[in-house]
């Protein structure tokens, strides 16, 4: 949709008396009482717009949005527990050229009456196009029921920053070369993982495979060994599927200031991976889409989604917006980065409210405080009890969903021992 027909106003561009809360890549405005936020925007030819609030409201009266000499008011709330959702505020008119939009909260109830991620405006003459895009995305979604049948999988942040269990420190290239895929895959089988979500790149743009497209974007950051192919082979022999994590926002930031060129480079990698690994690559989990939609609003999410499907139309795709509203519909299942077991969102296999309406159920939990293994002397605090894990997985599976659990994995590719024991107890508790 043309940029002038779909407008998002973010905390980063507001003049406000509310407190700003930065959460890595998703900044929020947190209203605690009689506060307001104002934006200046240029509306091109102007026109009539549908206005939505993307955020979370646990109690407030007199929420209003004033645009020039108009005002829309509501006392409705967006009370979906931990999660954000869309709240329709009605229609407003924007005049050609500059406009001023002011959001006010007159009175408040509760400790956090309003967390705002964005105000969303959709031109009324393009509302049917916007709705059609959401229907098309829903029709295109691949089936993730194999994840629900398996119940749970494992995510590992195996990256250059991962510490070793022994004092020896190797380069990333050397660590990839000696990574024992058979031992790693056997660990995954022992703990009952139905899939592995393996990190290709996180804060650094390295890649554990000799991808020509990646080498063009980041010379010297690929490896001679194709660890991805070797992982696929070892895991598949044990009936376990491989999915890949990419920190898309970091990739796009570090590719350079030319957004079009950065997007093209990312698409080229998706195409090469799709053709290289084919049906053996089960899915992609793309991080940072809150940052991307805010800083690269012209990016074509549908093209991105289609490129991620090359070589396997049933390959699953998820774009992470944290617990905020997904500002595009092109995900097969919810990224679900909640860290801790949350109260369940309404719906069965498909969510009916919250940040990812229409997407398939999925949660991403983190067993320990740190995503990355930091060494035997720095094992991070346990976040989730055995009982909470078992209950969460059983509940999500009963609703047609699935759960991925992040485990600390050393540079040698070994699961931290205490985590290994936890996962064995989990498997036993679920009678796997």
Instruction: Output the pLDDT for position 19.
Output: 67
* Residue 346 clears pLDDT 70, i.e. is over it: yes
> What are the phi and psi torsion angles at 212 (to 5°)?
-65, -40
Pair 356, 329: CB distance under 8 Å: no
* Same domain? 293 vs 381: yes
Which domain-ending residue is among 126, 150, 165? 126
- Strand pairing category for 6-9 and 195-201: unpaired
Domain that holds residue 345: 142-429
43-67 tens-digit pLDDT: 888 899 999 999 987 665 668 899 9
260-306 tens-digit pLDDT: 999 999 999 999 999 999 999 999 999 999 999 999 999 999 999 99
178-222 tens-digit pLDDT: 999 999 999 999 999 999 999 999 989 999 999 999 999 999 999
**Comparing C-alpha atoms, which of 83, 107, 133 is closest to residue 32?**
107
Q: The domain that contains 408 carries what CATH number?
A: 3.20.20.80
Q: What average pLDDT does the segment 373-380 reach?
A: 76
Cα atoms in the Cβ-side hemisphere of radius 13 Å centred on 365: 23
Instruction: Output the pLDDT for position 20.
Output: 64
* Same domain? 286 vs 406: yes
Pair 243, 406: CB distance under 8 Å: no
Q: Is the pTM of this model over 0.85?
A: yes
* Same domain? 344 vs 414: yes
**Confidence at 380, pLDDT banded by 50, 70, 90:** low
Q: How far apart are the first and last CA of the chain?
A: 46
Max alpha carbon distance in the chain (Å)? 68
> What are the phi and psi torsion angles at 93 (to 5°)?
-110, 130
* Same domain? 148 vs 120: no
* Same domain? 120 vs 151: no
Q: What is the mean pLDDT of the chain?
A: 91
* Residue 414 clears pLDDT 90, i.e. is over it: yes
* Same domain? 235 vs 374: yes
Which domain-ending residue is among 99, 126, 153? 126
Instruction: Output the pLDDT for position 62.
Output: 65
94-141 tens-digit pLDDT: 999 899 999 988 765 556 678 899 999 999 999 999 999 999 999 999
* Residue 240 clears pLDDT 90, i.e. is over it: yes
């Amino acid at each position: 949709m043309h940029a002038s027909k779909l407008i998002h106003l973010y905390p980063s561009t507001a003049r406000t008396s509310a407190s700003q809360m930065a959460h890595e890549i998703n900044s929020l405005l947190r209203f605690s009482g009689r506060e307001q936020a104002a934006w200046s925007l240029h509306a091109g030819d102007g026109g009539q717009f549908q206005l939505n609030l993307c955020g979370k409201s646990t109690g407030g009266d007199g929420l209003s949005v004033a645009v020039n000499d108009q005002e829309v008011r509501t006392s409705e709330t967006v009370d979906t527990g931990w999660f954000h959702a869309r709240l329709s505020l009605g229609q407003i008119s924007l005049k050609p050229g500059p406009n001023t939009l002011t959001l006010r909260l007159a009175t408040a109830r509760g400790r956090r009456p309003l967390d705002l991620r964005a105000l969303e405006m959709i031109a009324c003459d393009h509302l049917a196009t916007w709705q059609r895009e959401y229907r098309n995305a829903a029709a295109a979604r691949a089936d993730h029921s194999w994840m629900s049948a398996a119940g749970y999988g494992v995510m590992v942040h195996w990256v250059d920053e991962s510490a070793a269990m022994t004092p020896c420190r190797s380069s990333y290239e050397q660590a990839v070369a000696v990574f024992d895929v058979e031992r790693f895959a056997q660990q995954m089988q022992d703990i009952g993982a139905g899939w592995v979500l393996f990190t290709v790149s996180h804060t650094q743009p390295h890649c554990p495979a000799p991808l020509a497209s990646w080498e063009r974007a980041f010379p010297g950051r690929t490896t001679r060994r194709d660890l991805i192919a070797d992982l696929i082979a070892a895991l598949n022999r044990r009936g376990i599927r491989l999915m890949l994590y990419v920190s898309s926002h970091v990739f796009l930031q570090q590719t350079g200031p030319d957004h079009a060129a950065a997007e093209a480079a990312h698409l080229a990698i998706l195409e090469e991976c799709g053709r290289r690994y084919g049906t053996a690559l089960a899915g992609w989990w793309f991080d940072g889409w809150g940052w991307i939609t805010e800083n690269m609003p012209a990016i074509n999410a549908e093209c991105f989604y289609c490129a991620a499907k090359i070589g396997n139309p049933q390959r699953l795709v998820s774009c992470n917006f944290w617990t905020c509203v997904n500002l595009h519909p092109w995900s097969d299942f919810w990224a679900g980065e909640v860290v801790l077991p949350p109260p369940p969102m309404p719906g069965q296999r498909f969510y009916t409210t919250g940040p990812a309406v229409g997407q398939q159920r999925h949660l991403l939990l983190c067993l320990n405080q740190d995503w990355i293994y930091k060494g035997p002397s720095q094992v991070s605090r346990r976040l989730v009890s055995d009982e909470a894990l078992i209950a969460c997985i059983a509940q999500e599976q009963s609703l047609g969903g699935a759960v991925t659990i992040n485990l600390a994995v050393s540079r040698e590719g070994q699961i931290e021992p205490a985590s290994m024991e936890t996962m064995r107890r989990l498997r036993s508790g679920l009678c796997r």
